[in-house]
Amino acid sequence: MRTNARRRLYTTTGIAALAAALAFTAACGSGGSSEGSGYTGAVGPVDLSDNCPSTIVVQTDWNPEAEHGHLYQLLGPDPKINAGNKRVVGPLFDRGQYTGVDIEIRAGGPAIGNQSVTSQMYADPAITLGYVDTDQAIQNSASNPTTAVMAPLDISPQIIMWDPATYPQVKQIADLKPTKARVLYFEGSTYMSYLTGAGILSADQVDGSYDGSPANFVADQGRSAQQGYASSEPQLYQEEVEGWKKPIAYQLVHDVGFPTYKSAMAIRSGELEKNAACLQQLVPVLQRGAVDYLADPGTANTVILDAAQQYNTGWVYTQRNADFAVRTMRDRKLVGNGPNGTIGDFDTTRVQRVIDVTTPIFAKQGTPVADGLTPDAVSTNRFIDTSLGLPS
């Protein structure tokens, strides 16, 4: 089973809560739609009700967090948090006006037993769109194909981090290789197979035992490096991780030749055509949500923080971490227009690069990609409004 190798940091006291959440998921699953929002206001200029499901269900890849803010930005008045099923439902609004349908945002990670979003999408036909990384889409292209229609993150926040005091000579990931420092990561992460296969890191220095806890990194007192996310760990480790509380240094995995689109919004490939009319209207709404969230994230973040607390999976998310994530997404252009002034679209050269890099990795792992796989099978700009972008 391929898991969602997201971050992440659990408190020691949260392990019991996490176990309880996993047990709940195993017993009940997360299929089926919540009750509707009940909203009956007037529909604005964008009316999705004729072409889209009455509830657009989005399966995310982790607990609620700022990286999902573009979705929470679309929630209208009085969204309902279902702590038991770990989902939020509300009327779907586009720039302050009702679109005639609801949006349901489902948590991933522990909420779905740490299964992949792709497997969840194929198990539950109620899911309209799911967060699927480009490399995951490539890996599942033969068995459970998905096609991404919008990229909320232009650059993946995935990093390798290290202690700059222990390794002052290390300026980039490749500099860790001669130090022979242990590099902690989630077992099964495709990017690590790339890093070792390309010789950027040595296979005998990487350690797949990372479990989301800072314990090993802290206990090693800076001798180990570790995976993380640029939008989270730098703040957490400097301000919140007990036993550390000092800066870390890092490099984005994107910057060493692995330009996957993280958490791209994807549909089951076989359902793209029958949902084309919906996507033609919906995708620009998603683009506007991304633009508006970065401009004013306050309301969406209030819902994100409330939901994360109510879900009680043992994972702690703070206002400081959410604020840091927004600043980092802006400053590092993790959310950005790319080279063409458009938000949410895909660079086919990048997608082809990920296909080229991962195809031999997946063949070696026994999950060969679909024959003749092309970038437009994995992602499409067909529904993107090229006039929408972040202000320059």
DSSP 31-52: -SPPPP----PPB-S---TTTS
pLDDT tens track, the chain, 392 positions: 233 344 455 443 343 344 444 444 433 344 555 579 999 999 999 999 999 999 999 999 999 999 999 999 999 999 999 999 999 999 999 999 999 999 999 999 999 998 999 999 999 999 999 999 999 999 999 999 999 999 999 999 999 999 999 999 999 999 999 999 999 999 999 999 999 999 999 999 999 999 889 999 999 999 999 999 999 999 999 999 999 999 999 999 999 999 999 999 999 999 999 999 999 999 999 999 999 999 999 999 999 999 999 999 988 999 999 999 999 999 999 999 988 999 999 999 999 999 999 999 999 999 999 999 999 999 999 999 999 999 98
Q: Do 353 and 266 share a structural domain?
A: yes
Q: Do 132 and 53 share a structural domain?
A: yes
Residues paired with 80 in a beta bridge: 89
In a domain, 385, yes or no: no
Cβ-Cβ contacts under 8 Å for 58 (sequence gap 6 or more) = 71, 103, 104, 105, 106, 127, 128, 129, 130, 131, 265
As a whole number of angstroms, the distance between CA 155 and CA 308 comes to 24
Residue 275 maps to which CATH number? 3.40.190.10
Q: Parallel, antiparallel, or unpaired for β 183-184 and 225-229?
A: parallel
- Residue 197 phi/psi, 5-degree rounding, is -65, -35
In a domain, 371, yes or no: yes
Residues paired with 158 in a beta bridge: 229
- Residue 132 phi/psi, 5-degree rounding, is -130, 120
Expressed as residue numbers, the domain containing 30 is 12-153+260-378
In a domain, 145, yes or no: yes
Q: Do 269 and 239 share a structural domain?
A: no
Q: Do 268 and 141 share a structural domain?
A: yes
In a domain, 235, yes or no: yes
Q: Pick from 191, 206, 207: which is nearest to 362 by CA?
A: 191
- Token reading at 76: 């209208």
As a whole number of angstroms, the distance between CA 265 and CA 132 comes to 6
Q: Which helix (H) or strand (E) holds 390?
A: none
What's the number of domains the chain is made of?
2
DSSP string, 114-156: TB-HHHHHHH-TT--EEEE-HHHHHHTTTTS-EEEEE-S-SS-
In a domain, 384, yes or no: no
In a domain, 238, yes or no: yes
Q: Do 89 and 218 share a structural domain?
A: no
Q: Which of 207, 225, 256 is the last residue of a domain?
A: 256
Cβ-Cβ contacts under 8 Å for 129 (sequence gap 6 or more) = 56, 57, 58, 59, 149, 265, 266, 267
As a whole number of angstroms, the distance between CA 79 and CA 90 comes to 4
Q: Which of 202, 227, 256 is the last residue of a domain?
A: 256
Q: Do 239 and 162 share a structural domain?
A: yes
Q: Do 236 and 363 share a structural domain?
A: no
Q: Which of 234, 256, 278 is the last residue of a domain?
A: 256
pTM (global) more than 0.85: yes
pLDDT of residue 34: 57
Sheet with 80-82, strands from edge to edge, namely: 80-82, 87-94, 97-106, 55-59, 129-132, 264-268, 146-150
Q: Which amino acid would we find at residue 391?
A: P
The set of long-range contacts for 271-275, using a CB threshold of 8 Å and a minimum separation of 24, is 272/147, 272/149, 272/380, 275/52, 275/128
